[in-house]
Amino acid sequence: MLKVHKTILILSALIVTYSCNTNDTAVNSYSVSYNGNGNTSGEAPIDSNSYKEGDSVIVKEPTGLLHTGYLFSSWNTNANGKGTNYVAGSSLQIQDSNVTLYAKWTSTGSNTQNTDPDPRIAITITTKNGGDVTLTKAPLLYDKQHILTMETDDALNDPYKTFLPLFTGGIPEHDTVASPGLYITDGCTNDVSYKSNSTAWVIAPVNQTDWFAWSNGEHWLNYAQLDTLIANGFGLVSHGYYTDMTHPSVNVVTAVNNYVTWAETRYGFRPLYAVKPGGQTFDDQAWKNAWFEKGLRFISMGSGAAASMTRVDDINISTFTEALQIGRRLVEESSAATVMGYVNTMIASPGNQWLRLFGHNVNVDDFVRYADIKEFFTQLNTLYGKPGNDSIWVANINDVISYLYCRDTITTESVKEGNKTTFYINQDQIPSYLTKRLITFKINTTDQITDIRVSDNTNASMCNSLVNVIWQTEATQ
The secondary structure of 197-256 as a DSSP string is: EEEE--EETTTTEEHHHH--SSSB--HHHHHHHHHTT-EEEES-SBS-TTSTT--HHHHH
Beta strand ranges found along 6-84 (DSSP E): 32-35, 56-58, 70-76
CA atoms within 13 A on the CB side of 314: 6
According to the model, what pLDDT value does residue 116 have? 45
Q: Count the Cβ atoms, other than its own, within 10 Å of residue 23.
A: 7
Backbone angles phi, psi at 91, to 5 degrees: -105, 135
Q: What span, in angstroms and rounded, lies between the C-alpha atoms of 342 and 335?
A: 11
Per-residue model confidence as pLDDT tens digits over 262-287 = 999 999 999 999 999 888 889 999 99
Q: What span, in angstroms and rounded, lies between the C-alpha atoms of 303 and 306?
A: 9
Identify the CA nearest to 29 among candidates 62, 55, 61: 55
- Please, are residues 168 and 160 in contact by the beta-carbon 8 Å criterion? no
According to the model, what pLDDT value does residue 475 have? 53
Q: What span, in angstroms and rounded, lies between the C-alpha atoms of 238 and 236?
A: 7
E strand or H helix at 382: helix 370-384
According to the model, what pLDDT value does residue 16 have? 39
The C-alpha angle 358, 360, 366, rounded to 5 degrees, equals 110
According to the model, what pLDDT value does residue 70 have? 76
Q: Which residues are CB-contacts of 227 (< 8 A; sequence separation ≥ 6)?
A: 71, 72
Low-confidence ranges of the chain (pLDDT < 70): 1-26, 107-119, 302-306, 474-477
Contacts 24+ apart (CB under 8 A), 384-391: 384/146, 384/343, 385/182, 385/183, 385/184, 385/194, 386/183, 386/184, 386/185, 386/191, 390/144, 390/184, 390/185, 390/187, 391/144, 391/145, 391/146
What's the distance, CA 406 to chain centroid? 20
Q: Counting Cβ atoms within 10 Å, is residue 311 exposed (0-12), middle (13-18) or buried (19+)?
A: middle
Helix, strand, coil % in the chain, rounded to nearest 5: 25, 30, 45
